[in-house]
Structure 1
Amino acid sequence: MYDVGEIRGQYPALADGRAWLDGAAGTQVPQTVIDAVADTYRAGVSNQGGPYESSRRAGSIVGAARQAVADLVGAADPAGVVFGPNMTTVTYRFAATLAAGWQVGDEIVVTQLDHDANVRPWVQAAKKAGAVVRTAGVDPETGALPAGNVTGLIGERTRLVAVTAASNLLGVRPDVRAISARAREVGALTYVDGVHHCPHEPVAVNELGADFYATSVYKWSGPHIGCVVADPGVLDGLAPDKLVPSPDTVPERFETGTAPFASLAGVTAAVEHLAGLDNEATGSRRERLALSRRSAAEHEQTLAAGMIDGLAAVAGVHRYGPSAGERTPTVLFGLRDRTPAEIAAKLAESGVNVSHGHSYAWEAVHALGLGASGAVRASLSHYSDESDVQRLLDAVADLV
């Protein structure tokens, strides 16, 4: 059973009485994650490689975090989980590493739907390598990205396809399976941005066909950590720039500096929290995640339907994005004669937290004709409830 009231009680931040509808920009964390981080510092932790308990504890924390992320996204081997300070930084690292093997005239494919963190690193790396960039456009009216818009650009010289599994701006979910299948036909790699996808859907990286799947832990109730999941065999064939004495093993060769041990303990705690969202979930962690995440997705979609219908019923509200199709519980909208910043500020006065602006979906906001000011984004999380949605609808109606 999915008891959202019980779940909300595990989040200290939600006690402030506000409607936290800004999850797409970062979620709040439950007490178990807070405790995991604090307990690591309380017990004491040392860098890895030492012949004493605090050092061995650090190694155990890192290994547990890799396994937890592998369980969350359905990866076969935790040795394919690479950590970094955030998704943008890790993606830049992979872009530089992969581009080292590109030649003049090679091609990469990016999309207008993506967060700029899955566009700019590849565009800049391609420029340095002399590779050609092909950009898949979205529907300028709805923001939809048909698979054909991407697959039609993939050819024999394509080396990489960068595509989002879910738009952080509009919630749109492209057909990643079809895109990655076409990429594989020509021997190209697929780098999938799952930052907005992973918090809202059960993930199976093999079913998506993603060679690289990126996610941000702070988008699913964990600390500020980014990670990329890949087949260790693929990672083994790559040689990132690294310090001479640092490990040359996979995945360690992709991680620079000392690991953030306390935050990684929080990663494991966050996955455990997600696995327990449904009170009836039993079995292995992967089995518990499967049921809990399905229940959470159903809960979010039910709330999203009410939010979308409710906004549509308010005169003067313009909602962006396709009216149908698979999407996350995220809505982008605007009001006549009000800037996005003004709307967000007024909603904040009513106790409703929403995001506004371009949300780093730089190509998408311009393709939709919104410009850098973007629009207002309301995004639900697994801890959102009906009262959050109603407060948003009431506040928007008051504005109109």
Structure 2
Amino acid sequence: MFDIDTVRTSIPALKAGIAHFDGPGGTQTPASVIDAMAEALAQPLSNRGTVTPGERNADQIVSGGASEARRAMADLLAAEESAIVFGRSATQLTYDFARTLARTWEPGDDVVVTRLDHDANIRPWQQMAAREGVTLRWADFDPETGELAVEHISDVLSERTRLVAVTAASNLIGSRPPIAAIARLVHQAGALLYVDGVHYAAHDTVDFAALGADFFVCSPYKFLGPHVGVLASRPALLDSLKPDKLLPSSDAVPERFELGTLPYELLAGTRAAVDYIADLSAKSPTTHRRRRLVAAMALISKHEQVLRAQLDAGLLELGEAVTSHSRAQERTPTTLLTFADRDAQDAYRFLASRSVQAPAGSFYAVEASKRLGLGSAGGLRVGLSPYNDSSDVTRLLNGLHDFLRS
């Protein structure tokens, strides 16, 4: 069983009494993650090496032993340790890889992006395509259902497509496209697949190989960790790419993509976040971290889906005054709401006055918001996280009821 009481008591920020539905923008942090970052900074720390204690501590955090950050993220994503790249953010990593991959494109080639995606998986490719004289093709999604189907991608593929960029889960409405099927289609066309997994990785088990992506990017601060970006790929593919780098810096994979000194304290927190998630399956009969992570993510997903069912039922009781734009069959527990004759920003402020935090906007998913007919304003986003409980959902629903009556 998912021990929600233990989860809630392990997160110091929840003592403030706020019901947090802002997890899609960044989750609250467990004490063990905070402690890991503080411990890293409290010990001698310097650039990586083997001579001084500070050098050895830094190296241990990144790549030393069973509990280091690179191995932890490889376990979480079911990827190879030597193909885990760290960066400042998922946006920064996508820009870096877009610049590098764009050097392999030629005029007449094309690149595909989707209107379901966060702008961080659209604009870098659009800007690089314009720079290289490459055609940008748009894959739409069905605004009535929120679904991005395989056919939406196949309609815009060509023999000159070099890359397809698609989200594994919409950060705005939660829709989860069939990535494995899209990957097979993209590879049949001879193109690469770049997957934004930032929202997806917070809510379900990631199996990099099973998804079929060539690149998968995520952000630990969306799953109880610190503010850092992580990209998974294949060692051979990374080895074929030549990014801009400093002459004396390592040319080994994956270090050639990690510019400057890594944020060691954040990597320590990343490892701690992965271990925290694995420990949620404490009764699992195995000590193997990947298996424990799979078990834990199954518990998290089930817990969140139960709360989503409570939320959906409560929203139906509010009637036609509330419209949910999260309608896909496969979706995360993230719901976008708009209100008849009421502004979502007003709902955000009203709920905040009651210590219920559900922000309003388009959350950088500008194209998706426009496709839904909401312009750039978006709506009220209600995102469930592992630390939410039934009383949080009740507070939210009561707050919405009172807002509509006010």
Aligned to 1:172: 175
CA distance in 1, matches of 2:77, 2:177: 18
Task: Note the 1:141-220 alignment, pairs <5 A.
Answer: 141-220=144-223
Deviates more, 1:146-155 or 1:129-138: 146-155
Measured against aligned partners, the alpha-carbon deviations of 1:77-135 in whole angstroms (never above 9, x if no partner) come to: 21100111100001000000000000001011110000000000001011111111111
Map 1:1-400; keep pairs closer than 5 Å: 1-49=1-49, 51-63=51-63, 64-75=68-79, 77-281=80-284, 282-315=286-319, 316-322=321-327, 324-400=328-404
Aligned partners of 1:312 and 1:319 also within 8 Å: no
Determine helix, strand or coil for the equivalent of 2:46: coil
What is the alpha-carbon distance in structure 2 between the residues aligned to residue 131 and residue 34 of structure 1?
45
Which digits, 9 at most, give the CA deviation of each residue in 1:137-195, with x for residues without a partner? 11133332112101222221111010000000000000111111011112211000000
2:380 partner amino acid: V
CA distance in 2, matches of 1:327, 1:223: 25
Would the aligned equivalents of 2:228 and 2:266 in 1 still touch at CA under 8 Å? yes
Do the aligned partners of 2:174 and 2:334 also contact (CA within 8 Å) in 1?
yes
Alpha-carbon distance in 2 for matches of 1:120, 1:265: 31
**2:343 & 2:195 partners in 1: Cα distance?**
32
What TM-score do you get using the length of structure 1 for normalisation? Answer: 0.98
| Distance in structure 1 (CA, Å) of the matches to 2:156 and 2:283 | 45
RMSD between aligned residues: 1.0
Name the stretch that deviates more: 203-212 or 277-286: 277-286
Unaligned 5+ segments in structure 2 are: none
Q: Unpaired runs of 5+ in structure 1?
A: none
**1:279 positional shift:** 3.0
Q: Check the 8 A contact 2:326/2:334 in 1, yes or no.
A: no
Moved over 6 A (4+): none
**Equivalent residue letter for 2:174:** G
1:2 and 1:279 in contact (8 A); partners too: no
Deviations 1:194-238 (A, max 9, x none): 000000001101111010000001000000000110001100000
SS in 1 for 2:187: helix
Letter of the 1:320 partner, please give it.
Answer: H
Counterparts of 1:327 and 1:254, CA distance in 2: 32
> Contact conserved, 1:36 with 1:266, CA < 8 A, in 2?
yes
Q: Secondary structure of 2:201's partner?
A: coil
Give the count of matched residue pairs.
398
Q: Secondary structure at the match of 2:280?
A: coil
| Amino acid in the other structure paired with 1:378 | V
Query: Shift of residue 274 of structure 1?
Result: 0.5
Q: C-alpha distance in 2, partners of 1:312/1:216?
A: 33
8 Å CA contact retained: 1:170, 1:330: yes
Which AA in structure 2 matches 1:13?
A: A
Identity %: 47
Shift of 1:11: 0.2
